[in-house]
């Protein structure tokens, strides 16, 4: 579009969000005095249908060729108004937005100062709009496949949905089995359906689905490229067991010299395993793994005469020479479903976790009440630490059941002293569930007490379940215990009942700490790979808290499950389905628009120094030889498919020959001038 700019300026009231502070009329009158402005209007909601119609009508009737919308942040509605321009027949890049809400009316309460700032910001947008250029929106093909990182319930659900829709899924899981934390649970609140019964069929499905390539005991090492064309490198760690030959019979594990001597991570250390192990009987894939740190043969080079597992394996699956395998593939989209860690209860030393044998985390307790757990579902007093290497102590000797169990809620949640201000959303209900299970498994005469700050029973069926548990005789005491200490063979919980303002010392056999959900300690690996942002609680940050809850700031990368913030199972599944559907949009359409605000070289002035070539983080620039008035010269050239539009090259070019579209020097300088003037 050539010729003189004809600019329309549209100032949004946003109800009273903007108009409550900024004098919108005054901004409009001011805008009318700005160069090349043909029309300036205000409207209550520019993003609404009639608001957008104002713009398209003016484009049609007044021949506007530039549009400035002064409203919310461009991060909010730039895509909306770009579409408006497109439907009005203008190139969408003839839009400039002035942010007078998030960065003006909402942060300044003085109407005069806010109006003054709004005028400046509008002026800066107008002078930039005068210099805007039409840009081509290019499309690239989308690889119809998806990488899903993490195979807990969120990753599994997303994988099944996408695979069922007919797209290829690469499901990568760090641990030897899929299932994640949900596989550790016994029952699920508030319905009390058995976790294994609803999860294990899905675990089997992901292993057998023709469209899913499952990679367990694997880690994503490198991610390059962009939406539609990500290049992925995954390291499949060696299990030292041939996956094709292993039948999962378990003869090896029985023979392992380390059997029963290594705390099993899956059982939260309550149960023991050997160096060759299956985390739990229903693990998928049902293939054994040798843990090379603990395997005598692999760590010390000697295991008796010869490794007993190898002798025991009739299938000949054990091979100590197996190496890690690195596989590379391309995907169009990525879903991050890496889950969480539970809060480290040692950070609350007043509760004596790690000091007293019978202060447990809720997840340890969960393993204990789980029928397939290390105690076979029996709730028993623990004797940790001392020589329990050979026999699984508590199970073998006559186990004593606790006569009273006390739960403490909000351990590591809603607690500024450990840096976690958020509510973990699941602890109130899982505590109620575990309390019910104590009554169920130990007997109704077992005294169950719960110390709580508030009970948040907000979900479907939660309040009813909370009521039911109280009717079963579970005693709730409102108060946050200050200390736990040992007196004889009893534990004493010191607290204050804040409803009656009475200090109390509560005697109990066993204390269960309802630990919260925390961001994974290895989150940094994924952040470095994918450049994800974190919110202040250090969970991954979604693109918009309300409207784009499964997207990230990077196109083609989506979030599912607790890695984005604490959730219960139904919410994690719902979000996984959301992420799956979001990821399928570009895959189903087969094409995606790529960054148009790329860099461009003026080959007439480029002197071919190669500075930009060195700088470009995406290797999108190369030097090529051209003929300039009969002389061969080298100039820079941008590969627009690779350029992501950061503008680092433009800032460094000594001759100003390389420029970033929509952020050219001649587009930014007028803005600087408009804002600089007092």
List contacts with other proteins (CB under 8 A).
Answer: 73-76, 99, 101-104, 106-110, 113-114, 116-117, 120-121, 124, 127, 527-528, 531, 533-536, 541, 553-554, 597, 615, 617-618, 644-648, 650-652, 660, 663, 665-666, 668-673, 675-678
For residue 28, the minimal CB distance to other proteins (Å) is 19
Nearer to other proteins, 98 or 429 (CB): 98
Q: What spatial distance separates the first Cα and last Cα of the chain, rounded to whole Å?
A: 33
For 622, the token pair is 């190369």
* Cβ neighbours of residue 462 closer than 8 Å, sequence gap 6 or more: 189, 190, 428, 429
Nearer to other proteins, 206 or 620 (CB): 620
Nearer to other proteins, 101 or 436 (CB): 101
Residue 23 exposed, middle or buried by CB count within 10 Å (0-12, 13-18, 19+): middle
Nearer to other proteins, 355 or 666 (CB): 666
Three-state secondary structure call for residue 290: strand
For residue 534, the minimal CB distance to other proteins (Å) is 7
Q: CA 553, CA 556: separation in Å to the nearest integer? A: 9
DSSP 8-state class, residue 301? S
For 115, the token pair is 């109006």
CA distances from 34 to 62, 79, 85, 109 (A): 17, 25, 21, 26
For residue 20, the minimal CB distance to other proteins (Å) is 12
Residue 193 exposed, middle or buried by CB count within 10 Å (0-12, 13-18, 19+): exposed
* Strand partners of residue 372: none
Nearer to other proteins, 122 or 474 (CB): 122
Q: CA 417, CA 440: separation in Å to the nearest integer? A: 35
For residue 527, the minimal CB distance to other proteins (Å) is 7
Task: Provide the CB-side half-sphere exposure for 256 (13 A, CA).
Answer: 29
For residue 664, the minimal CB distance to other proteins (Å) is 10
For residue 12, the minimal CB distance to other proteins (Å) is 14
Nearer to other proteins, 389 or 673 (CB): 673
For residue 553, the minimal CB distance to other proteins (Å) is 6
Nearer to other proteins, 395 or 528 (CB): 528
Nearer to other proteins, 409 or 660 (CB): 660
For residue 98, the minimal CB distance to other proteins (Å) is 10
Phi and psi for 486 in degrees, rounded to 5? -105, 140
What torsion do the CA atoms of 561, 563, 564, 566 make, to the nearest 10 degrees?
70
Cis peptide bond N-terminal to 190, omega within 30: yes
Q: CA 426, CA 423: separation in Å to the nearest integer? A: 8
Cβ–Cβ < 8 Å for 559, 552: yes
For residue 158, the minimal CB distance to other proteins (Å) is 24
For residue 496, the minimal CB distance to other proteins (Å) is 32
Q: CA 428, CA 410: separation in Å to the nearest integer? A: 8
Helix (H), strand (E), coil (C) string for 74-110: HHHHHHHHHHHHHHCCCCHHHEEEEECHHHHHCCCCC
For residue 73, the minimal CB distance to other proteins (Å) is 5
Nearer to other proteins, 504 or 654 (CB): 654
Nearer to other proteins, 102 or 255 (CB): 102
Nearer to other proteins, 249 or 668 (CB): 668
Q: CA 128, CA 96: separation in Å to the nearest integer? A: 7
Q: CA 483, CA 370: separation in Å to the nearest integer? A: 29
For 29, the token pair is 């009158």
């Amino acid at each position: 579009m050539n010729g003189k700019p004809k600019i329309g300026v549209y100032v949004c009231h946003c109800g009273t969000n903007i108009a409550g502070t900024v004098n919108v009329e005054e901004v409009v009158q001011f805008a009318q005095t700005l160069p090349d402005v043909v029309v300036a209007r205000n409207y209550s909601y520019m993003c609404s249908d009639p608001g957008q119609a104002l713009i398209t009508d003016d484009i049609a009737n007044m021949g506007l060729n530039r549009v400035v919308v002064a409203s919310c942040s461009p991060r909010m509605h730039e895509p909306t108004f770009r579409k408006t321009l497109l439907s009005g027949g203008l190139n969408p890049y003839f839009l400039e937005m002035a942010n007078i809400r998030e960065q003006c009316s909402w942060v300044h309460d003085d109407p005069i100062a806010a109006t003054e700032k709004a005028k400046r910001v509008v002026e800066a947008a107008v002078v930039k709009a005068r210099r805007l250029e039409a840009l081509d929106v290019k499309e690239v093909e989308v690889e119809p496949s998806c990488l899903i990182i993490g195979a807990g319930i969120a990753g599994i659900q997303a994988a099944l949905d996408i695979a069922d829709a007919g797209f290829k899924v690469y499901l990568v899981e760090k641990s030897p089995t899929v299932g994640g934390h949900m596989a550790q649970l016994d029952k699920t609140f508030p319905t009390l359906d058995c976790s294994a019964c609803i999860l294990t069929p899905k675990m089997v499905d992901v292993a057998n689905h023709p469209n899913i390539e499952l990679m367990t005991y694997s880690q994503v090492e490198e991610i390059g490229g962009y939406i539609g064309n990500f290049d992925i490198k995954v390291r499949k760690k060696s299990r030292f067991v041939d996956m094709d030959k292993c039948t999962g019979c378990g003869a090896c594990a029985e023979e392992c010299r380390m059997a029963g001597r290594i705390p099993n991570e899956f059982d939260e250390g309550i149960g023991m395993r050997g160096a060759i192990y299956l985390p739990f009987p229903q693990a998928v894939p049902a293939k054994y793994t040798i843990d090379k740190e603990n395997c005598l043969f692999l760590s010390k080079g000697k295991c008796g005469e010869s490794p007993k597992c190898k002798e025991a394996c009739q299938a000949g699956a054990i091979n100590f020479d197996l190496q890690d395998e690195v596989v590379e593939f391309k995907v169009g989209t990525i879903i991050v479903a890496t889950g969480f860690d539970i809060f480290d209860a040692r950070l609350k030393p007043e509760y004596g976790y790690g000091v007293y044998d019978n202060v447990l985390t809720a997840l340890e307790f969960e393993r204990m009440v789980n029928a397939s757990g290390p105690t076979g579902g029996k709730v028993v007093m623990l004797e940790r630490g001392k020589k329990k290497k050979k026999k699984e102590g508590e199970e073998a000797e006559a186990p004593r059941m606790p006569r009273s169990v006390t739960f403490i809620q909000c351990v590591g949640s809603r607690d500024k002293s450990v840096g976690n201000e958020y509510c973990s959303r699941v602890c109130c209900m899982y505590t109620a569930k575990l309390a019910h299970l104590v009554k169920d498994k130990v007997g109704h005469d077992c005294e169950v007490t719960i110390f709580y700050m508030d009970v948040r029973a907000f979900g479907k069926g939660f309040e009813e379940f909370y009521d039911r548990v109280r009717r079963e005789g579970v005693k709730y005491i409102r108060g946050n215990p200050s200390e736990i200490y040992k007196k004889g063979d009893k534990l004493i919980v010191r607290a204050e009942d804040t409803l009656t303002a009475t200090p109390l010392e509560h005697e109990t056999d066993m204390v269960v700490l309802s630990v919260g959900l925390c961001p994974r300690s290895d989150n940094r690996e994924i952040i470095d790979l994918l450049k994800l942002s974190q919110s202040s609680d250090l969970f991954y940050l979604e693109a918009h808290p309300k409207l784009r809850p499964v997207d990230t700031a990077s196109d083609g990368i989506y979030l599912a499950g607790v890695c984005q913030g604490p959730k219960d199972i139904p919410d994690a599944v719902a979000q996984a389905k959301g992420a799956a559907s979001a990821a399928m949009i570009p895959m189903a359409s087969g094409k995606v628009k790529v960054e148009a605000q790329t860099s461009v070289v003026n080959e007439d002035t480029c002197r071919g120094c190669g500075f930009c070539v060195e700088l470009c983080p995406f290797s999108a620039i190369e030097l090529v030889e051209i003929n300039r008035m009969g002389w061969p010269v080298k100039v820079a050239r941008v590969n627009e498919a690779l350029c992501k539009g950061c503008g680092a090259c433009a800032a460094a070019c000594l001759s100003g020959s390389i420029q970033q579209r929509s952020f050219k020097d001649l587009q930014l300088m007028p803005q600087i001038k408009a804002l600089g003037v007092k």
